Structure 1
Protein backbone atom coordinates (compact mmCIF):
# COMPACT_ATOMS: atom_id res chain seq x y z
CA UNK A 1 0.00 0.00 0.00
CA UNK A 2 1.30 3.44 -0.92
CA UNK A 3 1.77 5.24 2.37
CA UNK A 4 1.25 8.77 1.08
CA UNK A 5 3.28 11.60 2.47
CA UNK A 6 3.26 15.19 3.61
CA UNK A 7 5.63 17.13 1.35
CA UNK A 8 7.14 20.13 3.16
CA UNK A 9 8.76 22.94 1.18
CA UNK A 10 10.30 26.16 2.49
CA UNK A 11 9.80 29.02 0.04
CA UNK A 12 11.31 32.12 1.65
CA UNK A 13 8.91 33.15 4.43
CA UNK A 14 6.31 30.63 3.21
CA UNK A 15 6.06 27.05 4.45
CA UNK A 16 4.19 25.00 1.86
CA UNK A 17 2.60 21.72 2.91
CA UNK A 18 1.40 19.33 0.22
CA UNK A 19 -0.98 16.49 1.04
CA UNK A 20 0.24 13.81 -1.35
CA UNK A 21 -1.27 10.40 -1.98
CA UNK A 22 -1.18 9.88 -5.76
CA UNK A 23 -4.08 7.91 -7.20
CA UNK A 24 -6.03 8.16 -3.93
CA UNK A 25 -7.21 11.78 -4.25
CA UNK A 26 -4.72 12.65 -1.50
CA UNK A 27 -6.47 10.48 1.07
CA UNK A 28 -4.72 10.99 4.41
CA UNK A 29 -2.46 8.27 5.75
CA UNK A 30 -0.86 7.76 9.15
CA UNK A 31 2.47 9.25 7.94
CA UNK A 32 0.63 12.36 6.75
CA UNK A 33 -1.09 12.73 10.13
CA UNK A 34 2.27 12.32 11.84
CA UNK A 35 3.81 14.95 9.59
CA UNK A 36 1.01 17.42 10.26
CA UNK A 37 1.48 16.90 13.98
CA UNK A 38 5.06 18.19 13.69
CA UNK A 39 4.25 21.41 11.82
CA UNK A 40 3.39 23.49 14.90
CA UNK A 41 6.80 22.91 16.47
CA UNK A 42 8.56 23.41 13.13
CA UNK A 43 6.97 26.85 12.79
CA UNK A 44 7.58 27.72 16.45
CA UNK A 45 11.30 27.03 16.04
CA UNK A 46 11.68 29.14 12.88
CA UNK A 47 10.83 32.85 13.28
CA UNK A 48 11.44 33.38 9.56
CA UNK A 49 8.24 31.54 8.64
CA UNK A 50 5.45 34.05 8.13
CA UNK A 51 2.66 31.93 6.64
CA UNK A 52 1.80 28.25 6.12
CA UNK A 53 0.02 26.98 3.00
CA UNK A 54 -1.85 23.67 3.04
CA UNK A 55 -2.79 22.21 -0.35
CA UNK A 56 -3.47 18.92 -2.07
CA UNK A 57 -0.84 17.74 -4.52
CA UNK A 58 -1.73 17.29 -8.16
CA UNK A 59 -4.70 19.67 -8.29
CA UNK A 60 -7.31 16.89 -8.43
CA UNK A 61 -8.33 17.05 -4.80
CA UNK A 62 -7.49 18.69 -1.49
CA UNK A 63 -8.01 15.45 0.44
CA UNK A 64 -10.68 12.80 0.10
CA UNK A 65 -10.73 11.90 3.80
CA UNK A 66 -8.61 9.35 5.61
CA UNK A 67 -7.25 6.53 3.44
CA UNK A 68 -9.92 3.90 4.11
CA UNK A 69 -7.50 1.01 3.55
CA UNK A 70 -6.12 1.81 6.98
CA UNK A 71 -9.45 0.87 8.58
CA UNK A 72 -9.43 -2.65 7.16
CA UNK A 73 -7.93 -4.20 10.30
CA UNK A 74 -10.12 -2.31 12.79
CA UNK A 75 -11.82 -4.89 14.98
CA UNK A 76 -12.62 -3.05 18.21
CA UNK A 77 -14.26 0.18 19.25
CA UNK A 78 -11.08 1.13 21.07
CA UNK A 79 -9.20 1.27 17.76
CA UNK A 80 -11.78 3.76 16.48
CA UNK A 81 -11.46 5.85 19.62
CA UNK A 82 -7.68 5.98 19.29
CA UNK A 83 -7.98 6.98 15.63
CA UNK A 84 -10.34 9.84 16.48
CA UNK A 85 -8.06 10.94 19.32
CA UNK A 86 -5.22 10.97 16.80
CA UNK A 87 -7.24 13.23 14.50
CA UNK A 88 -8.12 15.44 17.47
CA UNK A 89 -4.45 15.86 18.37
CA UNK A 90 -3.64 16.91 14.82
CA UNK A 91 -6.47 19.46 14.79
CA UNK A 92 -5.41 20.93 18.13
CA UNK A 93 -1.82 21.17 16.93
CA UNK A 94 -2.74 22.88 13.64
CA UNK A 95 -4.93 25.40 15.45
CA UNK A 96 -1.98 26.33 17.66
CA UNK A 97 0.33 27.28 14.76
CA UNK A 98 1.45 30.86 15.48
CA UNK A 99 1.32 32.14 11.88
CA UNK A 100 -1.64 32.35 9.49
CA UNK A 101 -2.51 29.07 7.78
CA UNK A 102 -3.98 29.33 4.28
CA UNK A 103 -5.84 26.37 2.78
CA UNK A 104 -6.03 26.01 -1.00
CA UNK A 105 -8.90 23.69 -1.90
CA UNK A 106 -9.21 22.26 -5.40
CA UNK A 107 -11.83 19.56 -5.80
CA UNK A 108 -13.06 17.66 -2.73
CA UNK A 109 -12.20 18.42 0.88
CA UNK A 110 -14.10 15.54 2.41
CA UNK A 111 -14.12 13.84 5.81
CA UNK A 112 -10.75 14.38 7.43
CA UNK A 113 -9.93 16.65 4.49
CA UNK A 114 -12.79 18.91 5.56
CA UNK A 115 -11.47 18.86 9.13
CA UNK A 116 -8.03 19.96 7.93
CA UNK A 117 -9.52 22.73 5.79
CA UNK A 118 -11.47 23.90 8.84
CA UNK A 119 -8.18 24.32 10.71
CA UNK A 120 -7.00 26.92 8.21
CA UNK A 121 -7.41 30.60 9.03
CA UNK A 122 -8.19 31.44 5.41
CA UNK A 123 -9.57 29.03 2.82
CA UNK A 124 -9.64 29.81 -0.88
CA UNK A 125 -11.29 27.40 -3.27
CA UNK A 126 -11.71 26.72 -6.95
CA UNK A 127 -15.28 26.67 -8.36
CA UNK A 128 -15.28 22.85 -8.45
CA UNK A 129 -14.40 22.48 -4.74
CA UNK A 130 -16.83 20.60 -2.52
CA UNK A 131 -16.89 20.23 1.25
CA UNK A 132 -18.48 17.63 3.50
CA UNK A 133 -18.24 14.63 5.77
CA UNK A 134 -20.75 12.10 4.39
CA UNK A 135 -19.82 9.32 6.81
CA UNK A 136 -23.49 8.61 7.55
CA UNK A 137 -23.85 7.53 3.90
CA UNK A 138 -20.45 5.99 3.23
CA UNK A 139 -18.63 4.39 6.17
CA UNK A 140 -21.05 4.41 9.07
CA UNK A 141 -18.50 5.85 11.50
CA UNK A 142 -18.79 9.19 13.25
CA UNK A 143 -16.88 12.38 14.06
CA UNK A 144 -15.12 13.34 17.31
CA UNK A 145 -16.05 16.43 19.35
CA UNK A 146 -12.96 18.34 18.18
CA UNK A 147 -14.07 18.09 14.54
CA UNK A 148 -17.75 18.84 15.15
CA UNK A 149 -16.85 21.83 17.34
CA UNK A 150 -14.53 23.29 14.70
CA UNK A 151 -17.12 22.80 11.95
CA UNK A 152 -19.76 24.52 14.09
CA UNK A 153 -17.41 27.47 14.58
CA UNK A 154 -16.64 27.79 10.87
CA UNK A 155 -19.96 26.81 9.25
CA UNK A 156 -22.47 27.52 12.01
CA UNK A 157 -24.31 24.96 14.13
CA UNK A 158 -27.38 24.62 11.92
CA UNK A 159 -25.53 24.27 8.62
CA UNK A 160 -23.05 21.82 10.14
CA UNK A 161 -25.71 19.45 11.45
CA UNK A 162 -27.75 19.71 8.27
CA UNK A 163 -24.67 18.81 6.23
CA UNK A 164 -23.75 15.88 8.48
CA UNK A 165 -27.26 14.46 8.92
CA UNK A 166 -28.05 14.56 5.20
CA UNK A 167 -24.52 13.43 4.26
CA UNK A 168 -24.46 15.95 1.42
CA UNK A 169 -21.53 17.90 0.04
CA UNK A 170 -21.50 21.70 0.05
CA UNK A 171 -20.45 23.40 -3.19
CA UNK A 172 -17.86 26.14 -3.05
CA UNK A 173 -20.52 28.84 -3.46
CA UNK A 174 -22.40 27.67 -0.35
CA UNK A 175 -19.17 27.40 1.63
CA UNK A 176 -18.43 30.99 0.57
CA UNK A 177 -21.86 32.16 1.73
CA UNK A 178 -21.30 30.43 5.07
CA UNK A 179 -17.96 32.19 5.52
CA UNK A 180 -15.99 28.94 5.51
CA UNK A 181 -14.36 29.95 2.22
CA UNK A 182 -12.90 33.45 1.97
CA UNK A 183 -12.72 33.61 -1.82
CA UNK A 184 -13.39 31.50 -4.91
CA UNK A 185 -10.56 31.65 -7.44
CA UNK A 186 -10.59 30.40 -11.00
CA UNK A 187 -8.11 27.62 -11.71
CA UNK A 188 -6.39 29.44 -14.57
CA UNK A 189 -5.35 32.29 -12.27
CA UNK A 190 -5.22 30.39 -8.98
CA UNK A 191 -1.47 30.38 -8.42
CA UNK A 192 -1.15 34.07 -9.27
CA UNK A 193 -3.98 35.07 -6.93
CA UNK A 194 -2.69 32.86 -4.13
CA UNK A 195 0.79 34.38 -4.44
CA UNK A 196 -0.71 37.87 -4.14
CA UNK A 197 -2.68 36.81 -1.06
CA UNK A 198 0.48 35.41 0.53
CA UNK A 199 2.38 38.61 -0.24
CA UNK A 200 -0.32 40.62 1.52
CA UNK A 201 -0.06 38.43 4.62
CA UNK A 202 3.75 38.51 4.67
CA UNK A 203 3.74 42.32 4.56
CA UNK A 204 1.83 42.50 7.84
CA UNK A 205 3.19 42.67 11.38
CA UNK A 206 3.86 39.09 12.53
CA UNK A 207 3.23 39.82 16.21
CA UNK A 208 -0.15 41.35 15.35
CA UNK A 209 -1.14 38.31 13.29
CA UNK A 210 -0.04 35.91 16.03
CA UNK A 211 -1.95 37.96 18.62
CA UNK A 212 -5.13 37.93 16.53
CA UNK A 213 -4.91 34.16 16.24
CA UNK A 214 -4.39 33.76 19.99
CA UNK A 215 -7.32 36.07 20.77
CA UNK A 216 -9.55 34.03 18.46
CA UNK A 217 -8.45 30.79 20.18
CA UNK A 218 -9.35 32.22 23.57
CA UNK A 219 -12.71 33.49 22.36
CA UNK A 220 -13.50 30.03 20.97
CA UNK A 221 -12.55 28.52 24.31
CA UNK A 222 -13.84 31.08 26.81
CA UNK A 223 -16.30 33.29 24.93
CA UNK A 224 -16.23 37.02 24.14
CA UNK A 225 -15.11 37.97 27.65
CA UNK A 226 -11.96 35.86 27.39
CA UNK A 227 -8.95 37.25 29.22
CA UNK A 228 -6.28 38.32 26.72
CA UNK A 229 -4.56 41.11 28.64
CA UNK A 230 -1.23 39.31 28.44
CA UNK A 231 -1.53 39.12 24.66
CA UNK A 232 -2.42 42.81 24.38
CA UNK A 233 0.43 43.81 26.69
CA UNK A 234 3.02 41.80 24.78
CA UNK A 235 2.09 43.48 21.48
CA UNK A 236 1.96 47.00 22.88
CA UNK A 237 5.33 46.45 24.58
CA UNK A 238 6.99 45.27 21.38
CA UNK A 239 9.65 47.00 19.36
CA UNK A 240 7.49 46.52 16.28
CA UNK A 241 4.70 48.61 17.79
CA UNK A 242 7.08 51.43 18.67
CA UNK A 243 8.63 51.27 15.21
CA UNK A 244 5.19 51.15 13.61
CA UNK A 245 4.03 54.32 15.38
CA UNK A 246 7.22 56.15 14.40
CA UNK A 247 6.98 55.01 10.78
CA UNK A 248 3.32 56.02 10.55
CA UNK A 249 4.01 59.51 11.91
CA UNK A 250 7.01 59.92 9.61
CA UNK A 251 5.09 58.67 6.54
CA UNK A 252 7.52 55.86 5.74
CA UNK A 253 7.22 52.13 5.26
CA UNK A 254 8.41 49.73 7.90
CA UNK A 255 10.15 46.36 7.89
CA UNK A 256 8.62 44.34 10.71
CA UNK A 257 11.14 42.50 12.87
CA UNK A 258 8.79 40.32 14.87
CA UNK A 259 10.05 41.52 18.26
Structure 2
Protein backbone atom coordinates (compact mmCIF):
# COMPACT_ATOMS: atom_id res chain seq x y z
CA UNK A 1 0.00 0.00 0.00
CA UNK A 2 1.55 3.29 -1.14
CA UNK A 3 0.98 6.59 0.68
CA UNK A 4 1.99 10.19 0.02
CA UNK A 5 1.78 11.55 3.56
CA UNK A 6 2.38 8.67 5.94
CA UNK A 7 4.86 5.86 6.49
CA UNK A 8 3.77 2.42 7.68
CA UNK A 9 6.18 0.05 9.41
CA UNK A 10 5.33 -3.35 10.87
CA UNK A 11 7.53 -5.45 13.14
CA UNK A 12 6.89 -8.06 15.84
CA UNK A 13 3.08 -7.66 15.89
CA UNK A 14 3.35 -3.85 16.13
CA UNK A 15 2.41 -1.45 13.33
CA UNK A 16 3.92 2.04 13.53
CA UNK A 17 2.24 4.75 11.49
CA UNK A 18 4.32 7.89 10.97
CA UNK A 19 2.63 11.06 9.73
CA UNK A 20 5.21 12.35 7.27
CA UNK A 21 4.62 15.98 6.30
CA UNK A 22 7.62 17.60 8.04
CA UNK A 23 7.49 20.84 6.01
CA UNK A 24 3.92 21.34 7.27
CA UNK A 25 4.79 20.11 10.79
CA UNK A 26 2.72 17.02 9.94
CA UNK A 27 -0.52 19.03 9.70
CA UNK A 28 -3.62 17.02 8.87
CA UNK A 29 -5.12 17.64 5.45
CA UNK A 30 -7.92 15.68 3.80
CA UNK A 31 -5.56 13.32 2.02
CA UNK A 32 -3.62 12.54 5.20
CA UNK A 33 -6.82 11.79 7.11
CA UNK A 34 -7.92 9.42 4.35
CA UNK A 35 -4.51 7.74 4.25
CA UNK A 36 -4.51 7.27 8.01
CA UNK A 37 -7.92 5.63 7.77
CA UNK A 38 -6.72 3.22 5.09
CA UNK A 39 -3.51 2.33 6.95
CA UNK A 40 -5.30 1.79 10.26
CA UNK A 41 -8.04 -0.27 8.63
CA UNK A 42 -5.42 -2.44 6.92
CA UNK A 43 -3.65 -2.96 10.25
CA UNK A 44 -6.91 -3.85 11.95
CA UNK A 45 -7.68 -6.70 9.53
CA UNK A 46 -4.09 -7.98 9.55
CA UNK A 47 -4.10 -10.82 12.10
CA UNK A 48 -0.34 -10.48 12.61
CA UNK A 49 -0.77 -6.92 13.97
CA UNK A 50 -1.85 -6.63 17.60
CA UNK A 51 -1.00 -3.02 18.51
CA UNK A 52 -0.70 0.24 16.55
CA UNK A 53 1.51 3.21 17.36
CA UNK A 54 0.90 6.62 15.74
CA UNK A 55 3.60 9.30 15.73
CA UNK A 56 4.92 12.20 13.65
CA UNK A 57 8.06 12.47 11.56
CA UNK A 58 10.97 14.57 12.79
CA UNK A 59 11.53 15.93 16.27
CA UNK A 60 9.33 19.05 16.23
CA UNK A 61 5.76 17.89 15.83
CA UNK A 62 3.39 15.00 16.32
CA UNK A 63 0.73 16.89 14.39
CA UNK A 64 0.74 20.69 14.62
CA UNK A 65 -2.95 20.95 13.71
CA UNK A 66 -5.21 20.80 10.69
CA UNK A 67 -4.12 22.27 7.37
CA UNK A 68 -6.00 25.58 7.62
CA UNK A 69 -5.38 26.44 3.97
CA UNK A 70 -7.81 23.69 2.97
CA UNK A 71 -10.85 25.10 4.73
CA UNK A 72 -10.29 28.84 5.26
CA UNK A 73 -13.03 29.72 2.75
CA UNK A 74 -15.53 26.98 3.63
CA UNK A 75 -19.26 27.67 4.06
CA UNK A 76 -21.30 26.60 7.09
CA UNK A 77 -22.39 23.46 5.28
CA UNK A 78 -18.85 22.61 4.17
CA UNK A 79 -17.47 23.16 7.67
CA UNK A 80 -20.13 20.92 9.19
CA UNK A 81 -19.37 18.21 6.67
CA UNK A 82 -15.62 18.54 7.26
CA UNK A 83 -16.02 17.81 10.97
CA UNK A 84 -18.55 15.02 10.44
CA UNK A 85 -16.45 13.24 7.84
CA UNK A 86 -13.24 13.57 9.85
CA UNK A 87 -14.82 12.20 12.99
CA UNK A 88 -16.34 9.25 11.14
CA UNK A 89 -13.37 8.10 9.09
CA UNK A 90 -10.57 8.79 11.55
CA UNK A 91 -11.16 10.02 15.10
CA UNK A 92 -14.18 7.91 16.09
CA UNK A 93 -12.76 5.12 13.96
CA UNK A 94 -9.57 5.03 16.03
CA UNK A 95 -11.38 5.30 19.36
CA UNK A 96 -13.56 2.29 18.54
CA UNK A 97 -10.88 0.21 16.84
CA UNK A 98 -10.71 -3.40 18.02
CA UNK A 99 -6.93 -3.14 18.45
CA UNK A 100 -5.10 -0.82 20.88
CA UNK A 101 -3.75 2.42 19.40
CA UNK A 102 -0.98 4.29 21.24
CA UNK A 103 -0.12 7.91 20.44
CA UNK A 104 3.60 8.72 20.63
CA UNK A 105 3.42 12.51 20.96
CA UNK A 106 6.88 13.62 19.84
CA UNK A 107 6.43 17.40 19.73
CA UNK A 108 3.61 19.83 19.02
CA UNK A 109 0.13 18.29 19.25
CA UNK A 110 -2.21 21.16 18.54
CA UNK A 111 -5.81 21.34 17.36
CA UNK A 112 -6.48 18.30 15.19
CA UNK A 113 -3.16 16.87 16.34
CA UNK A 114 -4.21 16.78 19.99
CA UNK A 115 -7.62 15.51 18.90
CA UNK A 116 -5.88 12.67 17.05
CA UNK A 117 -3.81 11.83 20.11
CA UNK A 118 -6.91 11.90 22.33
CA UNK A 119 -8.74 9.53 19.99
CA UNK A 120 -6.00 6.96 20.62
CA UNK A 121 -6.49 4.63 23.56
CA UNK A 122 -3.67 6.25 25.52
CA UNK A 123 -0.76 8.62 25.02
CA UNK A 124 2.97 8.90 25.74
CA UNK A 125 4.86 12.15 25.22
CA UNK A 126 8.42 13.30 24.71
CA UNK A 127 9.65 15.95 27.12
CA UNK A 128 9.57 18.63 24.40
CA UNK A 129 5.89 18.06 23.60
CA UNK A 130 3.40 20.94 23.70
CA UNK A 131 -0.35 20.34 23.58
CA UNK A 132 -3.35 22.57 23.08
CA UNK A 133 -6.58 23.33 21.27
CA UNK A 134 -6.06 26.81 19.78
CA UNK A 135 -9.13 26.82 17.55
CA UNK A 136 -10.96 29.71 19.24
CA UNK A 137 -8.05 31.98 18.31
CA UNK A 138 -9.09 31.32 14.70
CA UNK A 139 -12.77 31.97 15.33
CA UNK A 140 -13.82 28.33 15.36
CA UNK A 141 -14.10 25.51 17.91
CA UNK A 142 -12.45 22.08 17.96
CA UNK A 143 -14.32 19.95 15.44
CA UNK A 144 -12.71 16.53 15.65
CA UNK A 145 -13.95 15.55 19.10
CA UNK A 146 -11.81 17.92 21.16
CA UNK A 147 -14.67 19.44 23.16
CA UNK A 148 -15.80 15.95 24.16
CA UNK A 149 -12.62 13.94 24.74
CA UNK A 150 -10.58 16.60 26.55
CA UNK A 151 -13.10 16.98 29.43
CA UNK A 152 -13.34 13.18 29.66
CA UNK A 153 -9.59 12.94 30.06
CA UNK A 154 -8.71 15.92 32.26
CA UNK A 155 -11.99 17.19 33.70
CA UNK A 156 -14.40 19.93 32.66
CA UNK A 157 -12.72 22.89 34.34
CA UNK A 158 -9.25 22.28 32.98
CA UNK A 159 -10.65 21.50 29.53
CA UNK A 160 -12.68 24.72 29.53
CA UNK A 161 -9.58 26.71 30.43
CA UNK A 162 -7.44 25.10 27.73
CA UNK A 163 -10.10 25.58 25.06
CA UNK A 164 -11.08 29.13 26.00
CA UNK A 165 -7.53 30.45 26.43
CA UNK A 166 -6.28 28.63 23.30
CA UNK A 167 -3.13 28.04 25.32
CA UNK A 168 -0.60 25.23 25.29
CA UNK A 169 0.55 23.00 28.12
CA UNK A 170 3.88 21.22 28.29
CA UNK A 171 4.43 17.50 28.65
CA UNK A 172 4.82 17.52 32.42
CA UNK A 173 1.59 19.43 32.94
CA UNK A 174 -0.13 17.04 30.54
CA UNK A 175 1.18 14.20 32.71
CA UNK A 176 -0.12 15.83 35.89
CA UNK A 177 -3.51 16.35 34.19
CA UNK A 178 -3.71 12.70 33.15
CA UNK A 179 -3.66 13.63 29.48
CA UNK A 180 -0.60 11.45 28.89
CA UNK A 181 0.52 8.31 30.72
CA UNK A 182 4.28 8.83 30.54
CA UNK A 183 6.83 11.51 29.66
CA UNK A 184 10.25 10.54 28.39
CA UNK A 185 13.00 11.78 26.09
CA UNK A 186 12.67 11.95 22.32
CA UNK A 187 15.12 9.07 22.01
CA UNK A 188 13.24 6.83 24.41
CA UNK A 189 9.69 7.65 23.29
CA UNK A 190 9.20 4.97 20.64
CA UNK A 191 11.17 2.31 22.56
CA UNK A 192 8.91 2.89 25.59
CA UNK A 193 5.79 2.72 23.41
CA UNK A 194 7.08 -0.54 21.94
CA UNK A 195 7.86 -1.94 25.38
CA UNK A 196 4.27 -1.31 26.49
CA UNK A 197 2.96 -2.63 23.15
CA UNK A 198 4.86 -5.89 23.64
CA UNK A 199 3.25 -6.31 27.07
CA UNK A 200 -0.15 -5.86 25.42
CA UNK A 201 0.78 -8.41 22.74
CA UNK A 202 1.20 -11.08 25.43
CA UNK A 203 -2.51 -10.92 26.22
CA UNK A 204 -5.69 -12.08 24.51
CA UNK A 205 -6.63 -9.94 21.48
CA UNK A 206 -10.26 -11.01 21.88
CA UNK A 207 -10.36 -9.92 25.51
CA UNK A 208 -8.59 -6.64 24.74
CA UNK A 209 -11.10 -5.83 21.99
CA UNK A 210 -13.96 -6.53 24.36
CA UNK A 211 -12.35 -4.38 27.06
CA UNK A 212 -12.05 -1.46 24.61
CA UNK A 213 -15.78 -1.75 23.86
CA UNK A 214 -16.68 -1.86 27.54
CA UNK A 215 -14.53 1.12 28.55
CA UNK A 216 -15.78 3.22 25.62
CA UNK A 217 -19.39 2.37 26.47
CA UNK A 218 -19.15 4.41 29.66
CA UNK A 219 -18.68 7.56 27.59
CA UNK A 220 -21.55 6.97 25.15
CA UNK A 221 -24.89 8.65 25.75
CA UNK A 222 -27.74 6.25 26.39
CA UNK A 223 -25.46 3.22 26.81
CA UNK A 224 -25.09 1.35 30.09
CA UNK A 225 -21.42 0.49 30.36
CA UNK A 226 -22.04 -2.10 33.05
CA UNK A 227 -24.38 -3.99 30.73
CA UNK A 228 -21.78 -3.91 27.96
CA UNK A 229 -19.20 -5.22 30.41
CA UNK A 230 -21.43 -8.07 31.56
CA UNK A 231 -22.22 -9.08 27.97
CA UNK A 232 -18.57 -8.88 26.94
CA UNK A 233 -17.47 -10.86 29.98
CA UNK A 234 -19.93 -13.63 29.14
CA UNK A 235 -18.92 -13.79 25.48
CA UNK A 236 -15.28 -14.29 26.47
CA UNK A 237 -16.24 -17.69 27.91
CA UNK A 238 -17.04 -18.90 24.40
CA UNK A 239 -13.64 -18.03 22.93
CA UNK A 240 -10.58 -20.17 22.28
CA UNK A 241 -8.50 -17.50 24.01
CA UNK A 242 -10.42 -18.04 27.26
CA UNK A 243 -9.87 -21.78 27.08
CA UNK A 244 -6.19 -21.28 26.36
CA UNK A 245 -5.74 -18.60 29.02
CA UNK A 246 -7.37 -20.55 31.83
CA UNK A 247 -5.71 -23.83 30.80
CA UNK A 248 -2.28 -22.15 30.67
CA UNK A 249 -2.85 -20.64 34.10
CA UNK A 250 -3.79 -24.01 35.63
CA UNK A 251 -0.87 -25.71 33.89
CA UNK A 252 1.48 -22.93 35.05
CA UNK A 253 2.70 -22.05 31.57
CA UNK A 254 2.60 -19.04 29.30
CA UNK A 255 -0.58 -18.72 27.24
CA UNK A 256 -0.42 -18.88 23.46
CA UNK A 257 -3.35 -16.74 22.35
CA UNK A 258 -4.70 -17.00 18.79
CA UNK A 259 -7.19 -14.13 18.91
CA UNK A 260 -10.15 -16.45 18.41
Q: TM-score, normalised by structure 1?
A: 0.91
* Superposition RMSD in Å: 1.9
Q: Distance in 1 between matches of 2:141 and 2:121?
A: 25
1:77 alignment partner in structure 2: 76
Q: Distance in 1 between matches of 2:136 and 2:43?
A: 36
| Gapped regions of structure 1 (runs ≥ 5) | none
Q: Distance in 2 between matches of 1:52 and 1:192?
A: 13
CA-CA distance at 1:146 after TM superposition: 3.2
CA-CA distance at 1:223 after TM superposition: 4.8
1:50 alignment partner in structure 2: 50
2:154 alignment partner in structure 1: 155
Is the deviation greater in 182-191 or in 98-107? 182-191
> Contact (CA 8 Å) 1:6, 1:31: kept in 2 or not?
no
Deviations along 1:153-173, one digit per CA (max 9) or x if unpaired, are 122211111100111111111
Asked whether 1:247 is paired with 2:233, we answer: no
Deviations along 1:24-81, one digit per CA (max 9) or x if unpaired, are 1111111111122334532342222100110001122100101122124x24222211
Q: Distance in 2 between matches of 1:155 and 1:26?
A: 25
2:85 alignment partner in structure 1: 86
> Contact (CA 8 Å) 2:86, 2:144: kept in 1 or not?
no
Q: After TM superposition, list the pairs within 5 Å mapping 1:27-176 onto structure 2.
A: 27-72=27-72, 74-89=73-88, 90-137=90-137, 139-144=138-143, 146-176=145-175
1:197 alignment partner in structure 2: 196
Deviations along 1:54-111, one digit per CA (max 9) or x if unpaired, are 0001122100101122124x24222211111122212111112111101000111000
> Contact (CA 8 Å) 1:17, 1:55: kept in 2 or not?
yes
Helix, strand or coil at the partner of 1:227: helix
Q: Distance in 2 between matches of 1:226 and 1:159?
A: 30
| Gapped regions of structure 2 (runs ≥ 5) | none
Mark the CA change 1:251 to 1:58 in structure 2 (over 3 Å): closer, same or farther. Answer: same
Q: Distance in 2 between matches of 1:110 and 1:50?
A: 28
> Contact (CA 8 Å) 2:112, 2:144: kept in 1 or not?
no
> Contact (CA 8 Å) 1:5, 1:29: kept in 2 or not?
no
